[in-house]
């Protein structure tokens, strides 16, 4: 979402801007310095670094939380506690969109997934855990690659992805 970062220029969208021959002539005539990015591209790169740093740190917190609570069935002892934590975490992260609430949600997710992964691995189903990790990594990498190469905003997919996640959690 381009509006999430004040220095991110939405003009990077290729479909909205077409460059004519006159556009290239009107640029300054100084040759480009090899290895140096223009201001808009550098701003986009800086923004992406921040986003991926937040994703990586949230993932790290979720994994650490899952590791710490891997043998704890506290959240699963009461279904109201389980659904209250999950739904409360999602609603809080959606209501207050800041890194603190998203890290809190990552910690709650780890609290829930740690024991689940431990149960699957204890039952000899490590292949299921590996497949889930692999598919998630492929989907994340594929969507990231698509968004970066086409410069398209994929935020319109948020509603569909959330509906799919809810369907998987409830139906799965």
pLDDT in tens, 19-33: 333 433 444 444 455
* pTM > 0.75: yes or no: no
Tens digit of each residue's pLDDT (9 = 90 or more) over 62-88: 899 889 888 888 777 877 888 888 888
Residues with Cβ within 8 Å of 21's Cβ and at least 6 positions away in sequence, in order, are none
121: left (phi over 0), alpha (psi -120 to 50) or beta: alpha
Q: How far apart are CA 85 and CA 99, in angstroms?
A: 18
């Amino acid at each position: 979402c381009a509006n999430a970062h004040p220095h991110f220029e939405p003009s990077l969208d290729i479909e909205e801007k077409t460059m004519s021959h006159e556009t290239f002539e009107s640029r300054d005539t100084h040759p480009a310095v090899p290895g140096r990015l223009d201001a808009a591209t550098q701003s986009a790169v800086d923004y992406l670094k921040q986003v991926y740093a937040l994703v990586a740190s949230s993932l790290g917190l979720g994994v650490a939380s899952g590791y710490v609570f891997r043998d704890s069935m506290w959240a699963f002892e009461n279904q109201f506690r389980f659904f209250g934590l999950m739904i409360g975490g999602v609603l809080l992260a959606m209501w207050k969109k800041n890194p603190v609430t998203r890290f809190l949600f990552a910690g709650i997710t780890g609290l829930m997934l740690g024991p689940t992964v431990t149960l699957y691995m204890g039952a000899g189903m490590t292949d299921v855990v590996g497949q889930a990790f692999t598919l998630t990594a492929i989907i994340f990498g594929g969507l990231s690659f698509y968004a970066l190469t086409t410069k398209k905003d994929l935020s319109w997919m948020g509603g569909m992805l959330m509906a799919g996640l809810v369907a998987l959690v409830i139906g799965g």
